[in-house]
Amino acid sequence: MISVIIPFLNEEQSLTELYQRLTAVLKKEFEIIFVNDGSTDNSLKVVQELAEKDGRIRLINFIRNKGKSAALTAGFKKARGEIIITMDADLQDQPEEINKLLEKLKDGYDLVSGWKKKRYDKKIIVYFSRLFNWIIRKTTKLQIHDINCGFKAYRREVAENLSLYGDLYRFIPILAAKEGFKIGETEISHALRRYGRSKYGFSKFFKGFFDLTTVLFLINFKTKPFRLFGTAGISLFGLGSAILVYLTAVWFSGESIGRRPLLIFGMLLVIVGIQLFSLGLMAELLVSVKEGKKKDD
């Protein structure tokens, strides 16, 4: 069985067509899980009417907007299918492309992400998205071109293992790869948004770079924070100490050093170094307490 999860926020004009095109494409047993992410237009009513006529539609309703991570998580929890598809509700992801994702899944991948190679969004969004994906390819081992494509196919186990909060849904392939799942990518065709408006502006990249830092930190140092802070701390401390040793030698040679900017710089490095070092130890303490608790449970 296939579960299609569709989060929507104010997409009243797309939903009926989306439903019709989906049912025309899906051959095997399926369910469609619509997740209303706090819509303020008629979207909820449209889906309720569809659900009355078709028992394969299930509806999750948030009375306020909680964001895509929460919507997807709720959908994953409810999904009964062995295979799960997620897609946007605005008809930019085209139901007819689902088979491409399913084919690739059959090749032995656990998660297949769509790649909108020709993309119909604002130019600036497209360029920044390319940059964002390039940075991801450089900073992680994942060779992916369109990480945040909403159109994805999952084996059930992948969805069960994801823990998403905030805007981390953007990084699902990285998080899944970290769990050891095999990630694939396949080109899909994309369409212009015909109805309604995009829910994200340029600010998503600003937030995205912060979130990427979080994700990189989590995948590399979640259980060993001291290695990061310790290394940085010792490096700064070492550099600062070297500067101070040098200034001490200068002082012994008879020159005054009290007014040299280098003195302040050296002291600053030593202090910041010690702080980073201690911060790393504190973080390590948190991890060890948390792991200890897990054992007790």
Among ligand UDP, Mg ion, none, partner that 12 touches (CB below 5 to 8 angstroms by kind): none
Asked if 9 interacts with ligand UDP (CB under 6 A), we say: yes
Whose Cβ is closer to Mg ion: residue 31's or residue 88's?
88
In order of 2, 78, 185, 187, the CA distances from 155 in angstroms are 10, 15, 14, 19
Q: Which of 89, 80, 116 is nearest to 18 (CA)?
A: 89
Among ligand UDP, Mg ion, none, partner that 185 touches (CB below 5 to 8 angstroms by kind): none
Among Mg ion, ligand UDP, none, partner that 109 touches (CB below 5 to 8 angstroms by kind): none
Indicate the angle between helix axes 98-106 and 15-25, nearest 10 degrees.
40
Minimum CB separation of residue 154 from ligand UDP in Å reads 17
Asked if 133 interacts with Mg ion (CB under 5 A), we say: no
Minimum CB separation of residue 121 from Mg ion in Å reads 7
Asked if 92 interacts with Mg ion (CB under 5 A), we say: yes
Name the one residue in this structure whose structure tokens are 């926020």. 9
Cβ–Cβ < 8 Å for 101, 187? no
Asked if 11 interacts with ligand UDP (CB under 6 A), we say: yes
Evaluate the CA torsion angle 159, 165, 166, 171 in order and state its sign.
negative
The binder of ligand UDP chosen from 3, 69, 73, 92 (CB under 6 A):
92
Minimum CB separation of residue 126 from ligand UDP in Å reads 11
Asked if 90 interacts with ligand UDP (CB under 6 A), we say: yes
Name the one residue in this structure whose structure tokens are 């829910």. 199
SS3 63: coil
Q: Which of 64, 41, 52, 62 is nearest to 19 (CA)?
A: 52
Asked if 152 interacts with ligand UDP (CB under 6 A), we say: no
CA atoms within 13 A on the CB side of 285: 6
**In the sheet that 30-37 helps form, which strands lie side by side, from edge to edge?**
57-62, 30-37, 2-8, 83-86, 152-155, 111-116, 183-188
Asked if 129 interacts with Mg ion (CB under 5 A), we say: no
Whose Cβ is closer to ligand UDP: residue 47's or residue 183's?
47
SS3 116: strand
Whose Cβ is closer to ligand UDP: residue 92's or residue 186's?
92
Q: Which of 17, 171, 206, 160 is nearest to 94 (CA)?
A: 17
Within positions 54 to 73, which residues make up the interface with ligand UDP, using CB under 6 A?
A: 65, 67-68, 71
Within positions 157 to 196, which residues make up the interface with ligand UDP, using CB under 6 A?
A: none
The binder of ligand UDP chosen from 2, 5, 7, 178 (CB under 6 A):
7
Q: Which of 87, 284, 84, 68 is nearest to 181 (CA)?
A: 84
Asked if 8 interacts with ligand UDP (CB under 6 A), we say: yes
Size of the site for ligand UDP (CB under 6 A): 17
The binder of ligand UDP chosen from 37, 97, 110, 185 (CB under 6 A):
37
Q: Which stretch binds Mg ion (CB under 5 A): 70-78, 90-98, 163-171, 243-251?
A: 90-98
Tell me whether strands 152-155 and 111-116 are parallel, antiparallel or unpaired: antiparallel
Task: Tell me which residues touch ligand UDP (CB under 6 A).
Answer: 7-9, 11, 37, 65, 67-68, 71, 88-90, 92, 150, 198-200
